[in-house]
Amino acid sequence: METALLWTIKKIFLPWLVKKVLNQAWYQLKKNHAFQRLVIILYLHWQFKTTLFQLLPVPQDEENL
């Protein structure tokens, strides 16, 4: 019974939920300019953060931590 419930959640409910959320986000992205700005700002922030951490030197010994 438990495995059937987990299978139903994983194979039916989760894909349906992801599709609903992505469709709603896509609709908001097309219609809502404030949401567009939010997505752009979050993306640029993520890009800056990942690039910044790649440029930071990695300490080789424990004294520099």
Mind giving me the DSSP string for 2-60? HHHHHHHIIIIIHHHHHHHHHHHHHHHHHH-HHHHHHHHHHHHHHHHHHHHHHHSPPPS
Residue pLDDT, tens place only, 22-59: 999 889 888 999 989 998 999 999 888 888 777 767 66
Indicate the pLDDT class of residue 16, thresholds 50, 70 and 90: very high
**pTM to 2 decimals?**
0.49
Asked whether 40 and 46 are in contact (CB, 8 A), the reply is: no
